[in-house]
Amino acid sequence: MTTLLRVETLTKRFGGFTALSDVNLNVAKGERLGLIGPNGSGKTTLINCISGVVQIDQGAIAFENKDISTLAAYKRAKKGIARTFQIPRPFHSMSVIENLMVPLEYIVHGLVDVSNRNAVHAEASELLHRMRLSDRTNAPAGQLSQVELRKLELARAVAARPRLLVCDEAMAGLATKEVHEILDILMELNASGITIIMVEHILQAVMRFSQRIVCLTAGRIISDGAPADVMANPEVRRAYLGS
């Protein structure tokens, strides 16, 4: 299998605090990877490093065999890395569909091409349909419910037509039925060829979703393998499950 993302000896410090130390991670094309670990273990920091929201101190990140370690976040987005945020960050002054227009304009269709505005609109509508968000197309993003916000967050990321999608707790705070809905969407996205890294606290969801699980504790990877193996690892059980 071809490697899509390669993280090598990555270290990230905030002041005197080491958030990530010597992290190595390969993600294969088409893979569904679950990233788990207790609070403060560095999951979100790792995502921030991959998406370019924070700059790394040491190590290297390569995407499709090209080094992206020092690229700005918007350039990584253009290269095909999309992400969602743990706390949804909609463009709240815009309508739902306008939210999608941002990545569609800035990444997919280019900036000056206004002539195919209708085509772009159609693509956004189609995407909202896939996300089961059609009925809220013109609603202001500031007025969405929790689950709708989660869907919008996902839709906006997918609108960038990414090859790698990184979801930071896309299901936190949702009811069981809603969790399943989001999981179904993620599965569909993966089936359409998008590689997905999922950070999640809901273990059931991670287990159902992931082909492989990586467990972080205190900024280090302590286990990496098939879901059942990782869960059986005593170190993981001690660090994560508290047993």
Partner 1 sequence: MRNNSTSFWAFALALPILGFVLPKVGLNEYYFYVAYVVLQYVVLATAWNILGGYAGYVNFGTGAFFGLGAYTALVAMKAFGAPLFVQIAAAAIVGALLGIGAGLLTLRLKGIFFSIATIAAAIVIETFILNWRFVGGASGMQVIRPEVPLGFETYTRLLFFVMTILTVLAIIVARYIEKSWVGRGLHALRDAESAAECSGVPTLRLKLLACAISGALMAAAGAPFPLYTSFIEPHSTFSLNYSVMALSMAVVGGMSRWWGPVLGAILIASTQQLAASASPELHLLVVGLLMVLFVIVAPDGLVGLVQWARKMVGPGRKEVELARGSERA
Partner 2 sequence: MSIDLLLEGLIFGVFVGCFYAAVSIGLSIAFGLLDVPHIAHASFLVLAAYMTFLLGSYGIDPLLAGLIILIPFFALGAVVYRFYYEAFEKRGTDAGVRGIAFFFGIAFIVQVILSLVFGLDQRSVAASYIGSSLGLGEMRIPWRLIVALLVAVGLVLALNLYLSRTFQGRAMRAVAQDPWALKAIGANPVMTKQWAFGLATAATAIGGALLIIVSPVEPSLDRVYIGRTFCVVVLAGLGSMSGTLIAGIMLGVIESLVLTAFGASWAPAVAFGLLLLVLGLRPQGLFGR
Contacts with partner 1, residue ranges (CB under 8 A): 51-53, 72-74, 77-78, 82-83, 85, 89-95, 98, 101-103, 105-107, 111-112, 138, 156-157, 159-160
Three state DSSP letters for 58-127: EEEEEECCEECCCCCHHHHHHHCEEECCCCCCCCCCCEHHHHHHHHHHHHHCCCCCCCCHHHHHHHHHHH
Residue 138 near which of partner 1, partner 2, none (CB within 5-8 Å, type-dependent): partner 1
> Least distance to partner 2 from the beta carbon of 92, Å?
6
Residue 111 near which of partner 1, partner 2, none (CB within 5-8 Å, type-dependent): partner 1
Following DSSP, what letter does each residue of 5-51 receive, concatenated? EEEEEEEEEETTEEEEEEEEEEEETT-EEEEE--TTSSHHHHHHHHH
Distance CA 203, CA 211 (A): 13
Of residues 24, 55, 70, 92, which one binds partner 2 by CB under 8 A? 92
N-to-C CA span, the chain: 36
Looking at the Cβ atoms of 87 and 122, the one nearer to partner 2 is 87
Residue 95 near which of partner 1, partner 2, none (CB within 5-8 Å, type-dependent): partner 1
Give the residue from 191, 161, 148 showing the smallest Cα distance to 82: 161
Greatest alpha-carbon span in the chain: 60
Of residues 116, 142, 184, 188, which one binds partner 2 by CB under 8 A? 142
Of residues 9, 55, 93, 116, which one binds partner 2 by CB under 8 A? 93
Instruction: Indicate whether 24 belongs to the interface with partner 2 (CB under 8 A).
Output: no
Query: DSSP 3-state helix, strand, coil percentages of the chain (rounded to 5)?
Result: 40, 25, 35
Looking at the Cβ atoms of 93 and 204, the one nearer to partner 2 is 93
> Least distance to partner 1 from the beta carbon of 94, Å?
6
SS3 call for 3: strand
> Least distance to partner 2 from the beta carbon of 18, Å?
18
Residue 13 near which of partner 2, partner 1, none (CB within 5-8 Å, type-dependent): none
Residue 106 near which of partner 1, partner 2, none (CB within 5-8 Å, type-dependent): partner 1
Distance CA 231, CA 227 (A): 6
Give contact residues for partner 2 (rule: CB under 8 A): 92-93, 142
